[in-house]
A and B are shown apart, each in its own frame.
Chain A
Amino acid sequence: MQSKPAALKVLDVVSIILLGISTYLALVFAPTELVMGDVQRVFYFHIGTAWTALLGFILAAVFSVVYLIKKDLLWDRLQVAAIEVSLVFFLITIVLGSIWARPAWNTWWTWDPRLTTAAVTELIYVAYFMLRQGIDDPDKRARFGAVYALIGGLSAPLTFFAIRLFRTIHPVVIGGTNPEADGGFSMTADMRVAFFFALFTFTVVFIDLFWNRIRLGDLQDKVEQLKLKVSM
């Protein structure tokens, strides 16, 4: 069995250290927001995980197009890895958002465009894994997976625009102002440090997990091939 590449081991350690620093910055270093108080600190990790999850979903859609053109299973492994990591990150985003929304909006959940799209996107990719589970042939699984990831990746932003037909109360902190948004604020310099550091941290953590998952996919493939050899 091949051992873990040294670069990946280093990245694992770096990710843990960065997560530690980022937690310190978000919970201690950044000043307390005046109106919302400490619960606003959720924001740093909320955006960090959301950004990386979306990055992963977009990557997955790109991988599925490449797979459909090249038909190389490598791209399928990359796609599964991206979606699996993003699915977890996006769930964290939703849970953190909910924790923040309870004091800020006085409700755990509203059917706001962003929240609804997030929930639907989560369901699309859960369905993606259910689809894959029902297929034994690796090539067919990869083809169907790629088609569904493509349609799903296309559908999620369309859902967002469609729900925009209703009003939104989700605050937009970076770029853009919505007069009806509730719970918006502007960042001070120290908040910005914590914010951008969290973005950086989660990008590194994402790359680390992504890499680990790709390696796992490779190993799974090898195990499957060995099993076939033994059974023959």
Chain B
Amino acid sequence: MNNTVYGIKTTKKDFAAKPSFLRAVFAIVWKDIQAEYRSFELISAMLVFSLLVIIIFNFALNLDIKMRETVTAGVLWTTFAFAGTLGLNRSMSVEKDRGCLDGLLLAPVDRSAIYFGKAISNLTFMLVVEAIVLPVYSILYNTNLFQPGLLLVILLGSIGYVGVGTLLATMSVQTRTRDILLSILLFPVVLPVLLPAIIASNGFLTRVELAEIMFPIGLLIAYDIIFISVAFMVFDNVVEE
């Protein structure tokens, strides 16, 4: 039996009582990616902002060859953290402004599916921005950032950052002071993720022995798991009306 709802062909399967968890997560991610693909609002803002931050750092830190080796990790992570709040804020306030969040909450899916869906799409945007910033930085400062270890650390750090950030952004967009609140809420709390990420990135860039980097990476993985599981457990409380 085929029906059409709003011009979209549907099958009986689409009206099944509750879509599976993964399908719900994927639907939210796909919705965000499609919306972003049509406007490029979020990624372009994050990207331009990141490049501007890097340019400011160039003057602020006088990034000559000697300096570069030791501060690159810090510059990169500061850039990602700042650009990240921009993206998180935007991604959640779009949901809030146009009443989409209420629509999402009405959907017969588990609330945590909304959390994971938003977190994965936020992560996707962040990774896209990082994937552009890294080669640009490599060219501008003649440093090779394409080391598998460094890329792994950046992935792990971004996962933890977005894991906490999605939860806090969901809260901050529902407050009166929402434009300024997210970075104040997020930065002190996400520090345990950023610290090992910076130390491990620095380790890869200054070519210290792998054994020394393993500990911060382990810490990073542990913190990712801790933060995401806590955010997953309490997310219900920040979207309840």
Contacts and interface: CB of A to CB of B under 8 A. Distances in A.
B171 A148 contact: yes
A130 B237 contact: no
Interface string B172-187: 1011111001001100
B237 A147 contact: yes
A149 to B, nearest CB: 11
Identify which of A68, A133, A147 gathers the most chain B CB atoms within 10 Å of its CB.
A147
Interface string A101-140: 0000000000000000000100110010011011110001
Contact of A143 (B167, B216, B240): B240
A151 B167 contact: yes
Nearest to A166: B199
A162 B167 contact: no
A150 B167 CA distance: 12
Contacts of B176: 134-136
A127 B184 contact: yes
Range for the number of chain B residues in contact with chain A? 20 to 34
A148 to B, nearest CB: 7
Contacts of A150: 230, 234
Nearest to B223: A158
B234 A68 contact: yes
A130 B181 contact: yes
Query: B-side binding surface: helix, strand, loop or mixed?
Result: helix
A133 B223 CA distance: 29
B188 A162 contact: no
A152 B237 contact: no
A163 interface: yes
Given A147-B171, A161-B219, A134 B181 contact: yes
B164 A151 contact: yes
Contact of A162 (B174, B177, B185, B192): B192
B63 interface: no
Nearest to A125: B188
B191 A144 contact: no
A152 B189 contact: yes
Given A146-B237, A147-B238, A151-B230, A140 B174 contact: yes
A225 interface: no
Interface of B: 164, 167-168, 171-172, 174-178, 181, 184-185, 188-192, 195-196, 199, 215-216, 219, 223, 226-227, 230-231, 234, 237-238, 240
